[in-house]
Amino acid sequence: EADIYQTPRYLVIGTGKKITLECSQTMGHDKMYWYQQDPGMELHLIHYSYGVNSTEKGDLSSESTVSRIRTEHFPLTLESARPSHTSQYLCASRENEQFFGPGTRLTVL
Amino acid sequence: KNQVEQSPQSLIILEGKNCTLQCNYTVSPFSNLRWYKQDTGRGPVSLTIMTFSENTKSNGRYTATLDADTKQSSLHITASQLSDSASYICVVSDRGSTLGRLYFGRGTQLTVWP
């Protein structure tokens, strides 16, 4: 079992609220990723990081932002949630093998 | 354009039966191919990873094959169990950058009935 954690697992929130999805890994990996996945669809990369103070946008445009102040922590923030942000968000980290967290299912009403 | 295509999109089989899932890719340059199992509401979990020189790899009842010439891979599940019900995702990595970019298929949704 990979040591990568995400909280919360489920979140239902109203439009306009600010939210932060937490992701932590204890494997010491420099590379970390955020993916967005809608039901029955492939994973889309929205953010990635090579290490502390390094963040890049992925393939899918996202209004979210990320930060990487510590190696083990890679939180994702939405300043003003909208219904279009409803999705599953998966965090991952990688050395040679890529490990995924359990995901956060976000619903914006 | 680098792509990963999986078939079938969904599959229903009876418990105890075997099945084979397909993955075709156009990713170049190729680095490796992975099969992941994703249970509903969970993150994907790695089943196998194969590099260019490997053409078969097993993990228990799961056997993956790779034909790098035709850019095809298959995942064979033997003696299926109810717990095999999940989405199976084919992921191909390129060698084009330090990141080793991953390309994801949409997955095959497998349902195993008792």
Question: Mean pLDDT, consecutive 10-residue segments, chain B of 114 residues?
Answer: 91 97 93 93 92 92 95 97 97 73 92 96
CA distance B97 to B80: 38
Which token pair is B40?
């509903």
The per-residue pLDDT for range A21-53, each reduced to its tens digit, is 999 999 999 999 999 999 888 899 999 999 999
Which token pair is A8?
């919360």
Residues 6+ apart with CB under 8 A from B58: B48, B64
Cβ of B107 within 8 Å of Cβ of A101? The answer is no
Question: In which band, very low, low, confident or very high, does the pLDDT at A55 lie, cut at 50, 70 and 90?
Answer: very high
DSSP 8-state symbol, A29 = -
B34 neighbourhood in chain A, CB within 8 Å: 98
CA distance A55 to B20: 39
- How close A79 comes to chain B (CA, Å)? 25
Over residues A55-79, mean pLDDT: 93
Q: What is the pLDDT of residue A17?
A: 95
Query: To the nearest whole number, what is the mean pLDDT of chain A?
Result: 93
Contact B48, B62 (CB under 8 A): yes
Which residues on neighbouring strands pair with residue B14, listed in sequence order? B113
B46 neighbourhood in chain A, CB within 8 Å: 97-99
Q: What is the pLDDT of residue A95?
A: 83
